[in-house]
Amino acid sequence: MPVGTSPAALNLAAHLEPAQLELARDRIRVEFPQDVLDRVRRCREFVLEISASGRAIYGVTTGFGPLVEFEGRADGAAQSDNTILHHIVGHGELLPPAIARAAVLARLFSLSQGRSGVSEQVVASLTAMLDTDFAPAVPRLGSVGASGDLQPLAYVAHALRGNGNAFFQGRLTTAGEALARSGLTRLVLDGRDALALVNGISVTAAALGLAVAQAVRARSTAELLSALLTDVLGCGTEFTSVGLLAAFGHPDVAETGASIRSWLEGSRPSGERPLQEPYSIRCTPQLIGAAGTSVRHADEVVRRDLNGVSDNPLFFPETGEVVHGGNFFGQPSAFAADQLNVALVQLGNLAERQLDLLVDPHRTNGLPPMLSPLPGQHHALQGVQIGATATVAAMRRAAAPASVQSLPTNLHNQDVVPFGTQAAFTALDQAKLLRYLHAALAVGLRQAVHVGARPPRAPRLAAVFDRIAEQVPPIVEDRPLDTTLARVADLLDTVASEVEGRR
């Protein structure tokens, strides 16, 4: 965060939105109304009362998982130790700090509902962490998303207790050092605190929420680039007809058609294109609109996850109930993430095919091959297209659904599992890969105009094209384009956010 800027503020009395998870990449000040703190305190007191009565409560008076038939440790602090320590077995690459911090925000929101019985100290500790540059070091592999994200959330708690590793200002160090440099005190857990921290799908919800936020931008970007391609090539716009798309019967398809029409307002066809364009132009409302349906569904699901309570058991002080069940089972998010994954891959297929069309002189009314000003001496988009092909292949290979890969584990206590965590991580990976493909297409469109395609005629498209051109000087001679692609990907996200803000 730049010096002198204040952290974003977030009031947990309101609903948590997927896009708000992105705020957690930087310091964020979470504010609690008094009634939120009151219900957290009331639930904690209720759990202490029930525990003292001798009533069996899973994870408080018992062992964990299939060891529920055995008594747990009598000391609450020791029971918390066991909860965390036997899950510190994760491996693989570490989650980026932004994802780990988003998971903390999601877990904080669930715990603040006052159904988990955590102490106010836990809520205060997570809140304080988010207002610093601290991030837990969390391995990617270890969760099956069935009894919550036990292992990744255990690493969150482990780091907040000063154990293992953590990030401070993006640099990996020991958790103890990161806490000290952040001005945080070590988290002390007792009673049900540890189990409440780990026994939910907050890592899954955070990853899926971040994927949805990027996917919303990706849909807008796909609409923009499809319109820009149409304008630059001088294509007819009949494929966006209001009546045509209304007759198809899919509202999201009609919405995409309306978006493309809006971008193209003020443009006129060149009259030099065929009666019917390739599907990568003509069918863009149907493809992008269908992807939008999947994005909207994932958005609805993850909003429910973020604003619900994932834990077991749940406590209801107002009725005196302790209810054991399966609110840690991430099946809804697993299905939604897999569906989103497939939609993102198809958007990737579209962008790659649009780029292929653009570099092919046989389909662009004679633009030079690879959009090179001197074919053979310089190669312009040739490397970019190969990179796009590799990226699409990677996306396709990762498109296998995780939500049907159930494997029994945990002495068959977890005899069916959703793998929502892996599904959500993959969806987020796909959303990031799609940014590269959209950037590649944007660079191609900018270069096409340089080598002879017409500048966009539509005023809105011309304005965006000028912003792209500022980031991408014409490719006169071959040069590295990797940092250029990264800058353009960021620019497209900015433009898409502006568009979404007006919708």
Percent of the chain with pLDDT over 70: 99
Which residues does 159 contact at the CB level (< 8 Å), separation at least 6? Answer: 136, 137, 138, 165, 166, 175, 178
Q: Where exactly does CATH 1.10.275.10 map onto the chain?
A: 8-200
Q: What is the rounded distance in angstroms from the CA atom of residue 73 to the CA atom of residue 187?
A: 20
Going 11 to 13 to 19 to 20, the CA torsion angle's sign is positive
φ/ψ (deg, to 5) at 252: -70, -30
Kindly report the three-state secondary structure assignment for every residue of 438-480: HHHHHHHHHHHHHCCCCCCCCHHHHHHHHHHHHHCCCCCCCCC
Q: Residue 20 has which token pair? A: 């708000």
CB atoms inside a 10 Å sphere around CB 241: 13
Q: Residue 252 has which token pair? A: 């999201």
Q: What is the pLDDT of residue 406?
A: 87
The CA-based angle 103-100-156, given to 5 degrees, is 85
Do β-strands 91-94 and 28-31 pair in parallel, antiparallel, or remain unpaired? unpaired
- pLDDT tens-digit profile of 56-73? 888 888 878 788 888 878
How many CA atoms are closer than 13 Å to the CA of 346, on its beta-carbon side?
21
Q: Tell me whether residue 58 is one of the annotated catalytic residues.
A: yes
Q: Residue 452 has which token pair? A: 């002879």
Q: Residue 394 has which token pair? A: 């990677």
Q: What is the rounded distance in angstroms from the CA atom of residue 227 to the CA atom of residue 204?
A: 34
Buried b (16+ CB within 10 A) or exposed e, 388-419: beebbebbeebbebbbeebeeebeeebeebbb
Q: What is the rounded distance in angstroms from the CA atom of residue 463 to the CA atom of residue 456?
A: 9
CB atoms inside a 10 Å sphere around CB 55: 11
Q: What is the rounded distance in angstroms from the CA atom of residue 453 to the CA atom of residue 474?
A: 13
How many CA atoms are closer than 13 Å to the CA of 465, on its beta-carbon side?
26
Going 83 to 37 to 8 to 294, the CA torsion angle's sign is positive
CB atoms inside a 10 Å sphere around CB 172: 13
Prior bond of 313 cis (ω within 30°): yes
Q: What is the pLDDT of residue 3?
A: 47
Return per-residue pLDDT of the chain as tens, 503 residues.
544 567 888 877 678 999 999 999 999 999 988 999 999 999 999 999 998 888 888 888 887 878 888 887 878 788 888 889 989 999 999 999 999 999 999 999 999 999 999 999 999 999 999 999 999 999 999 988 888 899 999 999 999 999 999 999 999 999 999 999 999 999 999 889 999 999 999 999 999 999 999 999 999 999 999 999 999 999 999 999 999 999 999 999 999 999 999 999 999 999 999 889 999 999 999 999 999 999 999 999 999 999 999 999 999 999 999 999 999 999 999 999 999 999 999 999 999 999 999 999 999 989 999 999 999 999 999 999 999 999 999 999 999 999 998 888 888 878 888 889 999 999 999 999 999 999 999 999 999 999 999 999 999 999 999 999 999 999 999 999 999 999 999 999 999 999 988 87
CB atoms inside a 10 Å sphere around CB 309: 17
Q: What is the DSSP letter of 149?
A: S
Do β-strands 8-11 and 28-31 pair in parallel, antiparallel, or remain unpaired? parallel
CB atoms inside a 10 Å sphere around CB 480: 8
Q: What is the pLDDT of residue 442?
A: 98
Amino acid occupying residue 479: R
Please say whether the beta carbons of 439 and 489 come within 8 A: yes
Q: What is the DSSP letter of 192?
A: T
- For 56-73, give the DSSP string: --TTTTB-SGGGGGSB--
Q: Residue 487 has which token pair? A: 């800058």
Going 46 to 49 to 55 to 60, the CA torsion angle's sign is positive
**Catalytic residue of the set 58, 155, 279, 436:** 58
- For 287-313, give the DSSP string: HHHHHHHHHHHHHHHHHHHHHS---SS
CATH C-level class of 211-307+327-502: mainly alpha
Q: What is the pLDDT of residue 414?
A: 83
Nearest Cα neighbor of 202 from 143, 119, 141 is 143
Give domain 8-200's CATH superfamily.
Fumarase/aspartase (N-terminal domain) (1.10.275.10)
